[in-house]
Amino acid sequence: MNFLRKLFGGGSTAPAKPSGKYVGGCDHISTVSNADPIDNHVCHCNVCKSVTNQQTTHVVFFKHGDLSVSNEANLNRQPFNADNPDGPLDLCTCKDCGTPIMLDDKQKRIRVLVPNLMGFDGKIDTASYHAFWDETKGYDKPNDGRPVYDSLRPEFVWPLGA
């Protein structure tokens, strides 16, 4: 019966990973995009720092409609910025295992991934610039050759919401 078990996934309840250009998530929920990200930066903001416990966070934006989620009913939602619970971004985690899955924009403009925490490690290009660095950070301005801004890159345009 071994071959049957192999064929049908050994009785595991984990659904098969979907195919796509970018696939992430956990054993219970998959996120998929076939389109490239619209922004890809190293974030120096304090919200990312407190949520990820990383000094800086590699953050990727997809257009909201480009990133699909296999099992949205299995997401727990909480404000991304605990100090601004009415802000647009929800941190979505898996109800079963607690894995962070994405940040979801209530205005449906973008969906945000942190590749190294959300199942995309190594599948997404390195960031093209540094965002939200300023003199208050208490550490030196990055000098790895990538542009450094105190916000998102100036040419970034928010997609329209839905």
Binding site for Zn ion (CB under 5 A): 26, 28, 43, 45, 48, 94, 96-97, 99
Please enumerate in sequence order all residues whose Cβ is within 8 A of that of 56, keeping only pairs 6 or more positions apart, or say none. 42, 43, 44, 48, 49, 130
Instruction: In the chain, count H helices and then E strands.
Output: 2, 10
Closest contact distance (angstroms) between CB of 101 and Zn ion is: 8
Q: Is the Cβ of residue 47 or residue 64 nearer to Zn ion in the bound state?
A: 47
Residue type, 92: C
Torsion of CA 53, 57, 61, 66, to 10 degrees: -60
> What residues have CB less than 8 Å from 4, skipping those under 6 apart?
none
Pick 26 or 117: Cβ nearer Zn ion: 26
Whole-angstrom Cα distance, residue 38 to residue 57? Answer: 17
**Please, which residue, 3 or 135, has the CB nearer to Zn ion?**
135
- Closer of 33 and 94 to Zn ion (Cβ): 94
We find the least distance from the C-beta atom of residue 47 to Zn ion, in angstroms, to be 5
- Residue 96, exposed/middle/buried by CB under 10 A (0-12, 13-18, 19+)? middle
Q: Which CB sits closer to Zn ion, 82 or 97? A: 97
